[in-house]
A and B are shown apart, each in its own frame.
Chain A
Amino acid sequence: MTTPMVEISGVHKSFGSTAVLRGIDLTARAGTVTVILGPSGSGKSTLLRCVNHLEKVDRGLVRVDGELIGYRRTGDRLHELSERQILRQRAGIGFVFQNFNLFPHLTALQNVAEAPISALGRPPSRVYARAHELLERVGLGDRGDAYPRQLSGGQQQRVAIARALALDPKLILFDEPTSALDPELVGEVLDVLRDLARDGTTMIVVTHEIGFAREAADTVVFLDEGRVVEQGPPAEVLDRPRHERTRAFLSKVLV
């Protein structure tokens, strides 16, 4: 049995007096797609942000590829890592935001090339050649010199995915990647996600696209009020949900 790519155990997180995550246990094997579903406010995004330490967990552990995220363990003590070490860990984990968060003053190509040069110290000429390849892969080979505001929402999100891929991450986290898009642009982004899934990229995707979950996910996780209500293959969780709350959620989403 190989170690899982992502191992989340006993994660708790509160914002002030609001408990957002109340003991999450979750694992994802390498090369699999995990889709996290749940009503808004269920803690999906927070959980995702804990995986690359954009949020600090209050309790519990997150491991990616066997490496503890954000902390170093000596005996029964956890020492918080320095910012430099955390940034180095993050460079191995791609993150795609709901609002793209492309750098508006840099071209598409510069957006993709920035992190490999400055975070990994790779030579710029090679990075730019690869950035161009990645833009081609997401269907934007001819838009490298465009600034983000000159692109449609779907194109911007595809650039953001290319930007995440440029670091050759072991894992990519997607935080509602299609929620900010016009309905007719959702398809082009999901196509890229399906393509990545086929290539064996390890992905955790928070989304409301049940259709995508059904065809691309290896595991579907249903989250509610900061707890995992149920998880399993999509055929099980989506078609034969065991819990009342999952059923209620799906009946609302699948109308």
Chain B
Amino acid sequence: MSLLSTHRPGNAATGDDALVVVPARHPWRWVATGLVLIVLAQFVHGLVTNPGWDWPAFAGYFLEKSIVEALLLTIGLTAAGAVLGFLGGIPLAAMRLSRNPVLAAVSWTYIWVFRSVPLLVQLLFWANLGYLYESLQFGIPFGPGISFPTTGLISSFGAALIGLALHEAAYAGEIIRAGLLSVDHGQHEAAAALGIPRTRQFWRIVLPQAMRAILPNAANLLVNLLKSTSIVYVLAIGELFYQVQVVYGRTGRVVPLLMVATVWYVILTAALSVLQYYTERHFARGAVRALPPTPFQRLRRALR
């Protein structure tokens, strides 16, 4: 309004072209920024000066052998849980989308049950399976087979892995189903009209497009799983959180060791986030007209 009103014809003598545009000032933004910076500085100051954090102990334990071994176990549990979980999720999603009412109902019930039971409770169930079934038998249903003692067959690590995988599969199934539903019906029709075989339709046409909707949720699930592995400490498995507890039980240095675990979880989550970024980028091909540059490409351009 003000710009328009100053621009009157016949005003050229005062030099309208030379008018300077002054951006609006935002004093409260400066005040808010200042306050946030003060709080942040206080927090950092506390981290550095409070002896309770015991940074020398943190540094000493961060790469200690038992901690690194526990870390590897955590990564292994996460990876195995994720792979098994998503492998289980694919048939669950397919069954729930099936026109066969029995398959759909079984999948629905599985997801209902395994989303209802807390992971901790489930883990304890698997660890105590021996009380329920003394031996497990493999063979023809209701027929002959070979039997094994349950406790020999399912170690506590096995129990943890089964629990995590079954738990993950329920969530993964729903995430995959959501992705499949997000693919336009016309894509299924086009693939069918071209006579493309059914499995090829799924892997080549539908799934790559579903991945765009699946990935952000799958990444959430994966990060959640990474931290959920800390629950298996109840089965006395030497993953990161268990090992940290063992060490501070011995040394009494609770806070620095909790920080060791925390920082490792943060680093792993950061690594997963980077992985997520590039995977999402890969599956964005064709979905946007031109892919935005990666942070590295942006940096290189800025430095040039």
Contacts and interface: CB of A to CB of B under 8 A. Distances in A.
A and B associate in one complex: yes
Given A105-B283, A118-B196, A150 B289 contact: yes
Contact of A91 (B187, B189, B195, B288): B195
Contacts of B200: 118
Task: Pick the most buried of A83, A92, A118, A147: most chain B CB atoms within 10 A of its CB.
Answer: A118
A95 B193 contact: yes
Contact of A103 (B187, B195, B197, B198): B187
A148 interface: yes
Contacts of A231: none
Contacts of B184: 101
Nearest to A166: B194
Interface string A36-51: 0000000000000000
Nearest to B199: A118
Interface stretch (B17-25, B128-136, B204-212): B204-212
Contact of B194 (A105, A114, A149): A114
B286 A90 contact: no
Contact of A119 (B186, B195, B209): B195
A101 B196 CA distance: 14
A240 interface: no
Nearest to B209: A105
A63 B187 CA distance: 26
Contacts of A90: 192-195
Contacts of B193: 52, 54, 90, 93, 95, 97
Task: Pick the most buried of B189, B195, B204, B209: most chain A CB atoms within 10 A of its CB.
Answer: B195
Contact of A114 (B186, B189, B192, B204): B204
Q: How many B residues are at the interface, by size bracket?
A: 20 to 34
Interface residues of A, number: 33
Contacts of A81: none
Given A103-B187, A104-B286, A105-B286, A115 B192 contact: no
**Main SS at interface, chain B:** helix
Contacts of B287: 104-105, 149
B288 A149 contact: yes
Given A99-B186, A103-B205, A115 B286 contact: no
A73 interface: no
B190 A101 contact: yes
B285 interface: yes
A165 to B, nearest CB: 12
A111 to B, nearest CB: 9
Contacts of B286: 104-107, 147-149
Contacts of B189: 54, 97, 101
A162 B273 CA distance: 40
B195 A88 contact: yes
Interface string A65-100: 000000000000000000110011111110101010
A87 B285 CA distance: 28
A236 B250 CA distance: 99
Nearest to A148: B286
A119 B283 CA distance: 24
A167 interface: yes
Nearest to B286: A147
B201 to A, nearest CB: 9
Given A84-B197, A90-B194, A164-B194, 11 more contacts: A87-B192, A87-B197, A90-B192, A97-B189, A101-B189, A101-B190, A103-B209, A114-B204, A114-B205, A147-B286, A149-B288
Interface of B: 184, 186-187, 189-198, 200, 204-205, 208-209, 283, 285-289
> Which 4 interchain pairs have the tightest Cβ spacing?
A91-B195, A101-B190, A147-B286, A115-B194
